[in-house]
Structure 1
Amino acid sequence: MSKLKLAAVLVFALGLVWAATNYRLVINGKPASTPAIVVGGKTYVPLEALKAAGVGVSVSGSTLSLTLPGARQGQGGANQVAALEGCVNEWLFNGIWRFRVLSLEPLPAGGRGGWRAKVELRNGTTANGAALAGTGWQGLMLVLDDGNTLESQYVEMRDKPFAQGTGLVQEAVFYSDDTAKTPTKLLLLLDPKKMNTSLKIRYSVADPSFRVRLDCRK
């Protein structure tokens, strides 16, 4: 390349940089060390900022892969890092259990305050006799909009053994004296480290817990 052509390329490149618009970048209320820029009408955010926002970033050869935090994980998938997340009426699968939330409603007036959720669980393996109690059961929780949680004290499906492909629909009750709050998520928590070692079944994800957003429906 001649010196004249090289100079022209450098001038063009510098022109693009000068023409770029910088945005001060703030992530979760905290200023980022590098700005976002707009070039040719498109906004570009640096990878460091994406990482700070909780986005998983990995590079393999010429491929850059991004994993969004809280990405919905549907039946049969195995990518979600923190927990399998979905909406009301959406089946989720962790390699052993299929789970979904069918509905959530306030408890009838005149009695103790709180909510009741209708949930469904199915054995998604070829094994007979699998039970939540033997596969790392940690609880069924309701998350409120202030961040507090309520735990259902009686969950029939916890100790029930399920044959291959069978399941159960049940109502779980969450009592609360403050019904002015709004439930936002329902969690079925499972710890794979507390699996019954005699079982011939395994989870297909690192964290098999289920997280169902109550503000969206499938």
Structure 2
Amino acid sequence: MTSRLIKLSLAAWLSLSAAALAQSAKNPTVYINGQPIKGTLVTVNGKQMVQLPLTDLQKSGALVSGGSSPVKAIQGCINQPLFNGVVRITLLEAGVKEGKYLIKFKVANGTQKKLLPSSDADASYDNMYAASDDGQVLQFNVPENSSEADTGNIYLTPGANVVEIAVIRNAQPGFKVTRILYRPDEDTLKDGRKDGLPFAPISNMEFALKCK
């Protein structure tokens, strides 16, 4: 009897586990450049595939091909200020420092309103990415023992600026970094425009490290 009870319990547990796995399989989470993206399981020509939202792919820094439009961005060089109607960002420094890949960039308020760069314009470490020519991308992290200024979490009056720092903490990138990307979230752009912030139609930025 004991053996039968164990078998029944195991069968019930396996049944519940299978049901849970089946449910999670309908909406699998895919990680791209360390960023989780919730997908939808679909069947195309008899093959199961995971469908991912294009906007989430773009935010992760993935290169989107196959007929999809590439991410448009304002482009420039290191030490060249780029402007998207709300903030002017100047990449001041990029490279390995004390075993970590570090960037230093200046954010200036280009509006006539008081501005919090980190939330009003997503001008902070978690919207900055290191990228290679072949499409590899890594998101930056907040530096250890950072201050409010280091993360853009201070209010700027019109024309004022703050210098921010971001790092890739765990390890140096496993690829040659040729570009630094700034990618504000679509919701931030949409809500900002509603609140009167004059974000340009193209508000992403890319800094090429090869040019001067």
Tell me the TM-score normalised to structure 2 length: 0.54
Larger Rg: 1
Which residue of structure 1 aligns with residue 141 of structure 2? 153
C-alpha distance after superposition, 1:89-119 (max 9, x if no partner): 11111111001111212122xxxx4311111
Higher strand share: 1
> C-alpha separation between the residues in 2 aligned to 1:91 and 1:176?
29
- Please state if 1:103 is matched with 2:93: yes
> C-alpha separation between the residues in 2 aligned to 1:179 and 1:130?
30
Segment of structure 1 superposing worse, 156-165 or 87-96:
156-165
Q: What is the number of equivalent residue pairs in this alignment?
A: 135
Of 106, 127, 140 in structure 2, the residue corresponding to residue 120 of structure 1 is 106
Q: Is the 8 A contact 2:101 2:172 kept in 1?
A: no
Question: Residue 165 and residue 181 in structure 1: after superposition, are their counterparts in 2 closer, same or farther (change >3 A)?
Answer: same
Question: Residue 83 and residue 145 in structure 1: after superposition, are their counterparts in 2 closer, same or farther (change >3 A)?
Answer: closer
Q: Is the 8 A contact 2:111 2:158 kept in 1?
A: yes
Q: Tell me, which stretches of 5 or more residues in structure 2 are unaligned?
A: 1-66, 144-149
Identity %: 23
Structure 1 residue 210: deviation in Å?
1.1
> C-alpha separation between the residues in 2 aligned to 1:127 and 1:145?
37
Letter in 1 for 2:118: L
> C-alpha separation between the residues in 2 aligned to 1:154 and 1:103?
16
Which residue of structure 2 aligns with residue 166 of structure 1? 160
Which residue of structure 1 aligns with residue 203 of structure 2? 208
Letter in 2 for 1:201: L
> C-alpha separation between the residues in 2 aligned to 1:171 and 1:185?
16
Which residue of structure 2 aligns with residue 37 of structure 1? none
Q: Tell me, which stretches of 5 or more residues in structure 1 are unaligned?
A: 1-53, 55-68, 70-80
Q: Is the 8 A contact 2:107 2:117 kept in 1?
A: no
Segments ≥4 residues shifted beyond 2 Å: 129-132, 134-138, 144-147, 155-161, 175-181, 191-200
Q: Is the 8 A contact 1:188 1:209 kept in 2?
A: yes
- Indicate the RMSD between aligned Cα atoms, in angstroms: 2.8
> C-alpha separation between the residues in 1 aligned to 2:197 and 2:95?
34
Structure 1 residue 153: deviation in Å?
1.6
